[in-house]
Amino acid sequence: MTVDRMLPTEEAHDLLALTQELCDRELTGKADAYEARAEFPREVIRTLGRSGLLGLPYPEEVGGAGQPYEVYLQVLETLAGSWLAIAEAVSVHTLACYPVYAHGSERQRKSLPDMLGGELLGAYCLSEPQGGSDAAALTTKATRDGDEWVVSGTKAWITHGRDADFYNLFCRTGEAGPRGISCLLAEAGTPGLEPQKAEKVMGLRSSAPSQIVLDDVRLPSDRLVGAEGGGFGIAMEALDAGRLGIAACAVGLAQAATDYAVAYAREREQFGRPIAEFQGVGFMLADMATQVSAARALLLSAARLKDAGRPFSTEAAKAKLFATDVAMRVTTDAVQVLGGAGYVSDHPAERWFREAKVLQIVEGTNQIQRLVISRALTKG
């Protein structure tokens, strides 16, 4: 990827170099085969974990790498440039580790080294078939029965739903609305926790989501993460950071599409010269490159606010909104630059085009991001 990065430390430069090396060795050239089989690349994720890339923004004392968010996000961007499904999996797993890290009990936090090291893969179960954007209206219910919670309901669109080792279950334990929601931690294989078949999706087929049916799942009372009734707050905290992860994935995808389109336009000749020399194509490439740079700048600005301990929720919404819209525009234009070649699977542009769409939807649709931003503006 043709990116001149300004990183805070020499260690960060080494980390990005390691990431690119892993991309070249473990990711490049594999995406199409996994996509065709709709097979989740679990061993690839485990390899990244053992290389230290799954716990980057978490402290070293719990098994992480203690890296600033601005560095972690550029690692995600690099991964996305090679294979979006991998970058999205890393982003979602990092999100899934947050509840235990930030709100877990001492006993729950003992699992963090395996979580952050990639031996345990996480799933974040908030959305439901009838409730995506309106997360506070979720209906999955958890009731107390002695020293256990009994959970029933259905979760939807769960990344790693069929492959996860642990699940954050956001459930209704009290009154209607956000104050009645709690977070419970469940292990794969728990009786009654039943992942369903993978959804048939437009893109990211190697990491297709699935529903999770919860049929009287019994969990010990010590599986409550944080305070009873505090689950909605935990979910929103995690999503603020998770939106930056999705924005980074979008920037990486858009950069890859731009680089590929530029290389193609330099080589493809029409009327006796490369098509990049024609103003209609050259201006399109210029707009693509400019939009990607702007998206990256907005993303890193929000990340630096987070790293400084300052409020960043609104800036995260802006970054997610802008970067994912850019990814959709840029991948569309990349297909156009390639012309007929962009419409066939011999070139990756058509896959990138299909993959970009989901980034405008996951972890809060872009309409929800606009709602977050507009409320911040009107309420002050």
How does pLDDT run across 90-104, given as a tens digit for each residue? Answer: 999 999 999 999 999
Angle between helix 84-103 and helix 349-359 axes, rounded to 10 deg: 30
Tokens standing for 114? 């395996």
Nearest to 312 by CA among 244, 359, 247: 244
Tokens standing for 326? 């850019």
Q: Is the pTM of this model over 0.75?
A: yes
Helix (H) or strand (E) holding 41: none
102-138 pLDDT tens trace: 999 999 999 999 999 989 999 999 999 987 788 888 9
**What local confidence, expressed as pLDDT, does residue 134 receive?**
84
Q: Within 10 Å of residue 155's Cβ, how many Cβ atoms?
A: 29
> Catalytic one among 35, 70, 355, 363?
363
Q: Is 269 helix (H, G, I), strand (E, B) or coil?
A: strand
110, β-bridge pairs: none
206-224 pLDDT tens trace: 999 999 999 999 999 999 9
Distance CA 275, CA 258 (A): 15
54-88 pLDDT tens trace: 999 999 999 999 999 999 999 999 999 999 999 99
> Taking 90 as the threshold, does the pLDDT of residue 33 lie above it?
yes
**What local confidence, expressed as pLDDT, does residue 354 receive?**
97
Question: Catalytic: 363?
Answer: yes
> Taking 80 as the threshold, does the pLDDT of residue 380 lie above it?
no
Each residue of 285-312: b (16+ CB within 10 Å) or e?
Answer: beebbebbbebbebbbebbbbbbeeeeb
Alpha-carbon distances of 15 from 67, 68, 169, 250, 268, rounded to whole Å:
10, 12, 33, 20, 35
Handedness of CA 23, 31, 356, 255 (dihedral sign): positive
Distance CA 346, CA 323 (A): 26
